[in-house]
Structure 1
Amino acid sequence: MTANTPEKTPVTLLGLGAMGTALGRTWLAAGHPLTVWNRSPARAEALAAEGAKVAGSAAGAVAASALLVVCLLDDDSVGAALDGVDLTGKDLVNLTTTTPAQARARAVWAEARGARYLDGGIMAVPPMVGVPEAGGYVFYSGSRELFELHRATLAVPVGTRYVGADAGFAALHDVALLSAMYGMFAGAAHAFALIRREDIDPVAFAPLLGEWIGAMAGPAVRQTAARLKDGDYTTDVVSNLAMQVAGTPTFLATAEGQGVSPELLRPYFELMRRRLDVGSGEEDLTGVVDLLLFG
C-alpha cells in the first residue's frame, strides 16, 4: 500500500465449502486481508497458499477482523460455530442459506451479543463468483447503515442488492426466486419427457423450449405482479381462466399417450380448476396465487 492507496477492509470468513472458497479467493485477489476458519482444517489449505491467514478456531478468526462473513451449511451450523464466541463490536454478515424466520431470529441473537447483523441470500453458483459478467449477486437485508458501510467490500465477489431492513427479506427473496426456478425446471422436465421416446433431437428441441419459456415468463411475471398490486384480474386478459381450464384435458391426454406421468402438471391444473370454481372465468391465472395462501 502507498500513502495514496486506500487500505482494503480486512475480512474474516467462516466456512470454506465451494461457495466460501470462491468468495475468499476473490477478496484475496482484490487485496483484502483475509482470515479464514473451517471446521475441517484441510479445506483452508488452498486459500492459505494464496495468502489467507488460517485461524485455529472460530473465536480466533472472529477476533481477527471487524467484518465477519459466515457461509456455512445451515443455521444450526452458524449457532454451533459461534457458540460462546465474543461478537461484541463485530459486523456479522450471514450468507448461510436459511428461512426468513431463522434469519430474523439470528439477527436478534447477534444483536443480543453486541454485533450488528446483515443477512444475505446468494443468487449465484461458485463459478459465477468473481466474474461480473456472469450476473451473480447477493440479496442483503437488515441494517441499511451496515450494508452501506461494507457495500464496496461485499460487492467484490458478486453484485449486491439491498431489499429491506427486515432481516428475513434476503432469505425470502432468495427462496422465492429459487422456488420459481424449480417450477421452471419441472415444466422443462415434463416437456423433455414428452419427446423422450420420439425421434426428436433434445439438443435441437432445447432452443425452442428456452425461447418459449423466456417469451412467456417475462411478460407473465410482470403482469401478475401488476394485477396482484391493483387487484384487477380481468382487464385486458388474452387467455382467460375458463379457456385454459378447458384445454387441460389435452395436456393430460398427451402425457398419457406419450407414457409420461402428469404428476408435475396435475397439481397446477387442479389449482386452476379450484380458482375457476371460486373466481371468474374471465380472469387470467393470477388468482391461483391467492389459493396458495393459508392461515
Structure 2
Amino acid sequence: MTQNAVEKTSVTLLGLGAMGHALARAWLAAGHPLTVWNRTPDRAAELAREGARVAGSAAEAVAANSLVVVCLLDDASVDEVLGGADLTGRDLVNLTTSTPAQARARAEWARERGARYLDGGIMAVPPMIGVPESGGYVFYSGSQELFEQHRQTLDVPARSVHVGEDAGHAALHDVALLSAMYGMFAGAAHAFALIRKEDIDPASLAPLLADWLVAMASSVHQTADQLRGGDYTKGVVSGLAMQVAGTPTFLSTAEEQGVSPELLSPYFELMRRRLAEGGGEEGLTGVVDLLVR
C-alpha cells in the first residue's frame, strides 16, 4: 500500500527561511498536514493561506506532530529554538547545516531528551525543492529503521539518500561534495581571469570549460579505486613527475597575464611535496594523503 492510499504523515517544520519555505510548500502541495513555526511570524502568512497551521511557539509546534523537521540558521539556533520543547517520543530530522561533530553531538542531545534523530544535508537550492527533475537530493544519516519509516515523506521535497548509521555522515558527505564544488569554482575563476584582458569573449570559453570539467570529473572514480586498493600508480597515464614538470608553464602564463596564482599555487606545492617523497610514477591521488593530518 502506498502513502497515497493512506493518510499522509503530519509534519512539523521549524524555520521558514528560503529553504524552509520551499520545504513547506512541497509538503503542502503533496497533501501533508503541516504545522509551521518561524521566529518571524510574518513569514508564515503565505503558508497559512495555503493550508499550513501556524504555531504560536516552537514548543507548540513540536507538540503538534511526532515528525519534527528543523531547518534553521546554524547548530546554535537549534539549541535556542528547541531548548524549551518537550521532545519525548518525537522523531527529529535536523536539516540545519552543521559539521559532522555537531551532528553527532546533536544526535546524543536528542536521545537524552527522548527523541529519535536523523541528520540531513540538503544538496539543492530552494528552487530545486519539490521539483523531482531538478536532480536535487538530501543526504540523511542516523537510524536506518527511522529513515525507512519516514522515507516516503522525506522524499517529497527531494530524493532522500541514506549514507549511514553514523549521524555525522550526512554532514560529512554534504561538506565533501561542496568542497569539491568550490575547488571547481576556483579553477574556473582562474581560467576566466587568464582571458579577462584579452579579446576573448567569456561566453565562448564557457562551453569549452564546461565540457572539459565534465570530461575530467570522471577521474574521481580512478582516485577512489586507487585509495581503496592502495596502488596509486594503477591506470596512471600522466605521472606526477611529468605533471610537476609542467607547472612552471601555468605559473608563467599567470604572470604574463597579470593574474594571481594564489588559487593554483597551494595545489602545485602539494604536488611537488608528493614528488619529493618519491611518487613520480603516481598520478595525483597521493595528494590526498598529504592533506590528512
TM-score bracket, shorter-length normalisation = over 0.9
- Secondary structure of the residue aligned to 1:198 is coil
What secondary structure, in the 3-state scheme, does the structure 1 residue paired with 2:13 have?
strand
The separation in 2 between residues aligned to 1:197 and 1:48, in whole angstroms, is 52
Kept in 1, the 8 Å contact 2:240–2:283? The answer is yes
Q: Does 1:239 align with 2:249?
A: no
1:181 match: secondary structure: helix
Work out whether 1:36 is the aligned partner of 2:45.
no
User: In the TM superposition, what are the counterparts of 1:36-115 in structure 2 within 5 Å?
Assistant: 36-115=36-115
Residue 24 of structure 1 pairs with residue 12 of structure 2: no
Partner Cα separation in structure 1 for residue 225 and residue 83 of structure 2: 45
Contact 1:70 1:95 in 2 (8 A): yes
Give the conservation status (yes or no) of the 8 Å contact 1:10–1:65: yes
CA distance in structure 2 between the partners assigned to 1:126 and 1:171 by the alignment: 18
- 1:182-232: CA deviations, max 9, x gaps? 0000000000000111111111110000000000112x1000000000000
The equivalences for 1:118-133 within 5 A come to 118-133=118-133
Q: Contact (CA 8 Å) 2:12, 2:69: kept in 1 or not?
A: yes
> Over aligned residue pairs, what C-alpha RMSD do you find?
0.8
Once the two structures are TM-superposed, the CA of residue 235 in structure 1 deviates from its matched residue by 2.6
Matches within 5 A, 1:116-195: 116-195=116-195
**Matches of 2:279 and 2:197 in 1, distance apart?**
39
Shift in Å, 1:46: 1.4
Shift of 1:26: 0.5
Structure 2 counterpart of 1:198, which letter? E
Instruction: Verify the 8 A CA contact 2:15 2:72 in the aligned structure 1.
Output: yes
Q: Is the 8 A contact 1:11 1:34 kept in 2?
A: yes
Residue 84 of structure 1, CA deviation:
2.2
Query: Scaled by the length of structure 1, what TM-score is found?
Result: 0.97
Residues 95, 120 of structure 2: 8 Å contact kept: yes
- Runs of 4 or more consecutive aligned structure 1 residues displaced over 2 Å after TM superposition: none
Q: Give the superposition deviation at 1:237.
A: 1.1
CA contact (8 A) 1:15 1:72 kept: yes
1:5, CA displacement in angstroms?
3.9
**Distance across 2 between alignment mates of 1:31 and 1:127:** 19
Note if contact 1:129-1:136 (Cα within 8 Å) is conserved in structure 2: yes
State the partner residue of 2:281: 282
Structure 1: distance between partners of 2:5 and 2:222 = 48
Alignment partner, residue 216 of structure 1: 216
8 Å CA contact 2:140–2:163 kept in 1: the answer is yes
Question: In the aligned structure 2, how far is the partner of 1:252 from the partner of 1:43?
Answer: 50
Structure 2 portions without partners, runs of 5+? none
Task: Write the distance in 2 (CA, Å) between the matches of 1:10 and 1:235.
Answer: 52
- Alpha-carbon offset, residue 132 of structure 1: 0.4
Is the Cα–Cα contact under 8 Å of residues 279 and 287 in structure 1 kept in the other structure?
A: no
| Paired letter, 1:182 | Y
Contact 2:12–2:68 (CA<8 Å) still a contact in 1? yes
Return the TM-score normalized by structure 2: 0.98
Corresponding position of 1:267 = 266
Q: Structure 2 CA distance, aligned partners of 1:99 and 1:46?
A: 32
Rounded to whole Å, the distance in 2 between the matches of 1:130 and 1:69 is 16
Look up the SS of the partner of 2:211 in the other structure.
helix
Number of aligned residue pairs: 290
Cα distance in 2 for partners of 1:60, 1:126 equals 26
* Deviation of 1:236 (Å): 2.6
